[in-house]
Amino acid sequence: MTRGAALLLPLAALLLVAAKRSEPVLPPEQATEHVVQPGETLGGIANRAKVPRILIIEANRLQPPYAVRTGQKLTIPRTRHHIVKRGETGFTIAYTYAVPWRDIAVANGMDTDTAIRPDQKLLIPTIIAGPAPAASPAGAGAATAAATAAATADFAWPLAGPVRRGYTARPARDYHDGIDIRAAAGTAVRSAGAGKVVFAGNEPTQFGQMVVVDHDDGWHSAYAFLSRLTVKEGDEVSKGERVGLVGRTGLARGDELHFELRRNNRPVDPATKLPAR
């Protein structure tokens, strides 16, 4: 080894140490991961993280008696807060945050059928991605893909018009769960597929007059910013049947439709499930 190389090695080591020291260390109430230290308990970790113990249990699939071990890496699900507004329901809150109502209820120590009240403060948990699906037998992957394609091929555009704003996936700061389609006020909005209306009413924070249709197999479509609803909760609708009229309610930027597709309450880019124009 040359003298120059020998001098470079200590310098590189010092730079590495300095880089490690410059890495920000988040305080417990902001960290999204935690490595269990000797003597720590789940309750103590939850208190310092300011996250309900039950959410850490569920996020890490811990089993009774919920003991943790030194060196174990825990996911700390961050939560948001929501103040219930007059007119909101569990359904509309769950839809707004793309979090199942049962998860919100668990986070707040409530039964799923517990009524909510205006000005009530709710914790909104972060959804943790589930485990990867088990490997399928040979040939089953193609069959599953074909079945999925068949299940989604029937979705149709709810109306004709230019897309003002497209889909942006979470967790981007400017995420957008659907697409906004420009159209003249009063234009008929039609169901993207056959199904049952599970919500038809006013969502007071973002969507205004909104219709949500259940298409089975976990699929839902939503039609928001409407000026008028032409269906009611419980109605069965066919593909192409009118569900409302274009308007500018909620956070609309003009006469337009906000359209979403969701699978198991997870937003899906409609452009990947609709026929090309």
Q: How far apart are CA 14 and CA 195, in angstroms?
A: 64
The full set of domain ranges for the chain reads 23-75, 79-125, 153-272
pLDDT tens digits, residue range 103-127? 889 888 899 889 999 999 998 887 6
Top pLDDT among 128 and 149 is at 128
Instruction: Return the SS3 of 148.
Output: helix
The whole-number pLDDT of residue 127 equals 62
- Is the N-terminal amide bond of 65 cis, ω within 30° of 0? yes
What pLDDT, on the 0 to 100 scale, is given for residue 141?
Answer: 43
Query: How many alpha carbons lie under 13 Å from residue 144 in its C-beta half-sphere?
Result: 9
Q: What is the pLDDT of residues 43-96, one digit of tens each?
A: 999 999 888 888 888 888 899 999 999 999 998 887 788 999 998 999 999 988
Residue 250 has what pLDDT? 94
Query: 48, exposed or middle or buried, with CB in 10 Å at 0-12, 13-18, 19+?
Result: middle
Specify whether domain 153-272 bears CATH 3.30.300.20: no
Q: How far is residue 200's CA from residue 151's CA, in Å, rounded to a whole number? A: 24
The pLDDT value recorded for residue 59 is 80
Q: Which pLDDT does position 132 carry in this prediction?
A: 37
Domain 23-75 matching CATH 3.30.300.30: the answer reads no
In angstroms, rounded to a whole number, what is the distance separating the alpha carbons of residues 210 and 84? 18
Confidence check: pLDDT of 7 > 70: no
Integer Cα distance of 213 and 208 in angstroms: 16
3-state secondary structure of 68: coil
- Give me the mean pLDDT over the 194-206 stretch: 93
| Fold match flag (23-75 vs 153-272) | no
CATH 3.40.50.720 fits 79-125, yes or no: no
pLDDT at residue 3 in the model = 52
| Beta partners for residue 163, in sequence order | 181
Sign of dihedral through CA atoms 37, 43, 49, 51? positive
pTM for the whole thing?
A: 0.64
